Amino acid sequence: MSFLTVLNLRKQQQGALVVNDVSFTLQPFHKIAIAGETGSGKSTLLKMIAGLVPVDEGTVLFEGQRVKGPHEVLLPGHPRIAYLSQHFELRNNYSVAEVLERVNLLEPEAAKEIYDICRITHLLQRRTDQLSGGEKQRIALARLLGTAPQLLLLDEPYSNLDMIHKNLLKTVIRDIGEEMNITCMLISHDPQDILSWADEVMLMKDGVIVQQGAPQQVYYQPLNTYAAGLLGKYNLLESATAKTLVAGPPPKGKLLLVRPEDLVLHTGNNDKTIKGKVNTVTFYGGYYELEVALPKDNITLKTMHTSAKPGDTVYISLKNADIWYI
């Protein structure tokens, strides 16, 4: 028996199929991250799993039991599945401690551990209108954890957070998984959040899972340009370019997909380099990004150090990475 089984789930909104025959299973403590363009059905899928939105067709089984829809129960939502919405609200004119105590099901010691993990212990006496967005987010999370969930569904938890609060929340989410033994699923638009956290990545488009696999696999072996683009920049290289960079002929009708960091910049040429002219150089802090015009392609390349300037001639080779054509 799987921890969570999603079977042929379908949902229509305003006459359009927004979740279309989605099936997957989730084992305890396996971290699944979902990405997809806006409107691809990610939130609707999580809300159906949580029992907050009625299912049109299909079934959600949590520990072998069907998750009931919101119209089948008095209080919508499964008691052991928590969903953190992008649009959560904290009641005004209450202290943080009061907001948390209203729903807390845990012993004081366990509740205190959650407040520590969520880094909110110092905020307990504050009023909810005296909090920053990042603090509110961690309190909303602590409130959900107080209901003792086994499965936590996080819907874009990092949106609208500055880097400091985002990093703090990332640590909190990691600790929830590791120290509280809660299984998490997460939606995010940011490849860095997804790839660094997930055991498995699920990519959605038009209500369908278009690709699912380990982060390295979906990043380096995307099934199509949509999947490639969701997880970062990429180059699609013509066969003439591919022939210079890769030993052996490219498969007919296919293009070589290369991530910018898998190209190497040289100042001199050899038989595995291709000559190009630098169009732009952009500094991003930890790396530089160069746009380079090749005879048949324009490519994007990432490098840690460079003194190249627009107009310079450079030579480019491919790192010894796995070759992927689409």
Ligand X SMILES: Nc1ncnc2c1ncn2[C@@H]1O[C@H](COP(=O)(O)OP(=O)(O)OP(=O)(O)O)[C@@H](O)[C@H]1O
Where on the chain is the footprint of ligand X (CB under 6 A)?
13-14, 18, 36, 38-44
Beta strands in the chain (DSSP E): 4-13, 16-26, 32-36, 57-62, 65-66, 81-84, 151-155, 183-187, 200-205, 208-213, 235-237, 256-258, 263-266, 274-283, 288-293, 298-303, 313-318
For the CB of residue 164, give the shortest distance to ligand X in the complex, in Å. Answer: 24
For the CB of residue 195, give the shortest distance to ligand X in the complex, in Å. Answer: 18
For the CB of residue 131, give the shortest distance to ligand X in the complex, in Å. Answer: 24
- Structure tokens given for 272: 């595995």
For the CB of residue 133, give the shortest distance to ligand X in the complex, in Å. Answer: 17
Buried b (16+ CB within 10 A) or exposed e, 229-259: ebbeebbbbebebbebbbeeebeeeebbbbb
Own/partner pairs, 103-112, CB within 8 angstroms, 24+ separation: 103/143, 103/146, 103/147, 104/146, 104/147, 105/146, 105/147, 105/148, 106/146, 106/148, 111/146
For the CB of residue 89, give the shortest distance to ligand X in the complex, in Å. Answer: 17
Nearer to ligand X, 36 or 260 (CB): 36
For the CB of residue 26, give the shortest distance to ligand X in the complex, in Å. Answer: 18
* CB-CB contact of 85 with 153 (8 Å): no
Nearer to ligand X, 4 or 53 (CB): 53
Cα distances (angstroms) measured from residue 239 to each of 257, 293, 316: 11, 16, 16
Nearer to ligand X, 38 or 270 (CB): 38
For the CB of residue 321, give the shortest distance to ligand X in the complex, in Å. Answer: 30
Nearer to ligand X, 38 or 92 (CB): 38
What DSSP line would sit under 144-174, residue for residue? HHTT--SEEEEESTTTT--HHHHHHHHHHHH
Nearer to ligand X, 39 or 69 (CB): 39
Residue 316 burial (10 A CB sphere; 0-12, 13-18, 19+): buried
For the CB of residue 210, give the shortest distance to ligand X in the complex, in Å. Answer: 13
Nearer to ligand X, 22 or 257 (CB): 22
Nearer to ligand X, 70 or 177 (CB): 70
Task: List CB contacts of 171: < 8 A, sequence separation 6 or more.
Answer: 119
Nearer to ligand X, 5 or 43 (CB): 43
Task: List CB contacts of 181: < 8 A, sequence separation 6 or more.
Answer: 29
Could you tell me how far CA 99 lies from the centroid of its own chain? 29
For the CB of residue 11, give the shortest distance to ligand X in the complex, in Å. Answer: 8
Nearer to ligand X, 161 or 237 (CB): 161
